[in-house]
Amino acid sequence: WGSEAHTTVGLIAQSFLLPRTQTFILSLLDSRYDGSIGAAAPWADEYRNTAEGRYSGAYHYIDTLDDPPNTCGVDLDRDCPSSHGCIVSAIANYTQRLGDESLGKDEQNKALKFLVHFLGDITQPLHASGHARGGNEVKVTFAGKHRSLHGIWDDDIPQYLLRSKYSDSITFWTQSLVDRIKANTLLTPKEEWTTCVDPDQAVRCATEWATDSNKYDCSYVYSALNDTSTDLSGEYFRNSVDIVELQVAKGGLRLAAWLNSVVTGEHGLSE
What residues act catalytically? 1, 6, 45, 48, 60, 117, 121, 127, 150, 154
As beta bridge partners, residue 148 has 139
Residue 136 CA: distances (Å) to CA of 85, 154, 162, 233: 19, 11, 23, 18
Give the nearest distance from C-beta 60 to Zn ion in angstroms. Answer: 4
Residue 4 found at the interface with Zn ion (CB under 5 A) = no
d(CA 17, CA 175): 15
DSSP 103-170: G-HHHHHHHHHHHHHHHHHTTSGGGG--THHHHTT-EEEETTEEEEHHHIIIIIHHHHHHHHHSTT-H
d(CA 70, CA 256): 34
Count of other CB atoms within 10 angstroms of residue 23: 13
Name which of Zn ion, ligand ADE, none residue 113 binds, using a CB cut-off of 5 to 8 Å depending on partner kind.
Answer: none
User: One symbol per residue from 49 to 68: x for binding Zn ion (CB under 5 A), - otherwise; what is it?
Assistant: -----------x--------
Judge contact between 24 and 268, C-beta under 8 A.
no
User: Where does this chain bind ligand ADE (CB under 6 A)?
Assistant: 60-61, 63, 126-127, 129-130, 133-134, 136
Measured from the CB atom, the residue of 42 and 134 that comes closer to ligand ADE is 134
Measured from the CB atom, the residue of 14 and 89 that comes closer to ligand ADE is 89
Name which of ligand ADE, Zn ion, none residue 134 binds, using a CB cut-off of 5 to 8 Å depending on partner kind.
Answer: ligand ADE
Give the nearest distance from C-beta 70 to Zn ion in angstroms. Answer: 27
Residue from 66, 121, 156, 245 that binds Zn ion (CB under 5 A)? 121
Judge contact between 232 and 141, C-beta under 8 A.
yes
Biggest alpha carbon–alpha carbon distance for the chain: 55
**Taking CB positions, which residue lies at the least distance from Zn ion?**
60
As beta bridge partners, residue 147 has 140
Count of other CB atoms within 10 angstroms of residue 187: 13
Give the nearest distance from C-beta 259 to ligand ADE in angstroms. Answer: 24
**Taking CB positions, which residue lies at the least distance from ligand ADE?**
134
Name which of Zn ion, ligand ADE, none residue 129 binds, using a CB cut-off of 5 to 8 Å depending on partner kind.
Answer: ligand ADE
Measured from the CB atom, the residue of 90 and 161 that comes closer to Zn ion is 90
d(CA 57, CA 115): 14
Query: How many chain residues interact with Zn ion (CB under 5 A)?
Result: 3
Give the nearest distance from C-beta 125 to Zn ion in angstroms. Answer: 14
Give the nearest distance from C-beta 27 to ligand ADE in angstroms. Answer: 32
What does the binding site for Zn ion look like in residue numbers (CB under 5 A)?
Answer: 45, 60, 121
